[in-house]
Amino acid sequence: MIFIENEHIIASFSAKGAELQSIKGTDSETEYMWSGNANYWAKFSPILFPIVGAIKYESYQFEGENYHLPRHGFARDMEFEYHHVNEQEIVFTLKHSEVTFKVYPFAFILSIRYKIHGASLCCTYEVSNPSDKELLFSIGAHPAFAAPLNKQGVYTDYYLLFNKDEEITFHHIIDNLISDNTTTIKLEEGKLPLTHELFYDDALVIKNLKSDSISILNTKNYNGLDFHFKDFPYFGIWAAKDADFVCLEPWCGIADGINHNQQLRDKEGIVFLEPNGEWQRTWQVTCF
């Protein structure tokens, strides 16, 4: 494992997928990330690139050519290069190659920068376009946080607290694609109680979230965390069936709609990056 640490937390990673796999308190040894139990879901915090979610028939067209990509893209399954900036910061990098060109006809440099300060971990996605052609991509986070934390209580002791929403409206997923069918949940004082049944029909996909901070708290005053994000137009909330975690997923991009024409340029949420351009977004988790 690769790690960075300070006097408050230690964060561990894998070079495969540049995946964050653990955040622990240095004194309490409280583990804030999901365990990766393969009986439920064997990942921890995959990076979704160059697409978020599924594309229709796992294929898309660009400039008259047909390409195939699996759900959430290829970055999460590829080996990243990495270097430590210092004991508290690390950067993982993935670049285009002959392998990626077979499924994705764009030159790119994707860097994932993790930095800790105090009891917070900051994750920044940096995308560079090294070519003289436009780069089309999506990117999203998928961190799974343990609930209960440190085996304190049970799943239903926990809830999500939204800092700006009084209700959330989510789109239903049909065959991995986004439908126009929606459900609205009223939030009492911004709270969404966690139940396993909440995710039995897949993720809650939200297009109009007002909040830029969601906290994982509980009714027993155990440990918790604050999750901050900015300028991500879509948000997913998910857990595997009956698993003791919840994923908080800010996205720049979204799965195809059920009526999508499979043209990459027409894909909802796609980011267009100009030649030689640079782009970045950041999310942060603060543990307590």
Omega of the bond prior to 50 within 30 degrees of 0, cis? yes
Task: Decide which of 28 and 133 is more confident.
Answer: 133
Per-residue pLDDT tens for 78-121? 999 999 999 999 999 999 999 999 999 999 999 999 999 999 99
Per-residue pLDDT tens for 205-243? 999 999 999 999 999 988 999 999 999 999 999 999 999
**pTM exceeds 0.75 for this model:** yes
pLDDT at residue 1 above 90? no
**Which domains does the chain show, CATH number per domain?**
2-287 (2.70.98.10)
Provide the pLDDT for residue 138: 98
Whole-number average pLDDT of the chain? 97
Q: How confident is the model at residue 158 (pLDDT cuts 50, 70, 90)?
A: very high
Q: How confident is the model at residue 178 (pLDDT cuts 50, 70, 90)?
A: very high
Q: How confident is the model at residue 151 (pLDDT cuts 50, 70, 90)?
A: confident
pLDDT at residue 287 above 90? yes
Per-residue pLDDT tens for 14-71? 999 999 999 999 988 899 999 999 999 999 999 999 999 999 999 999 999 999 999 9
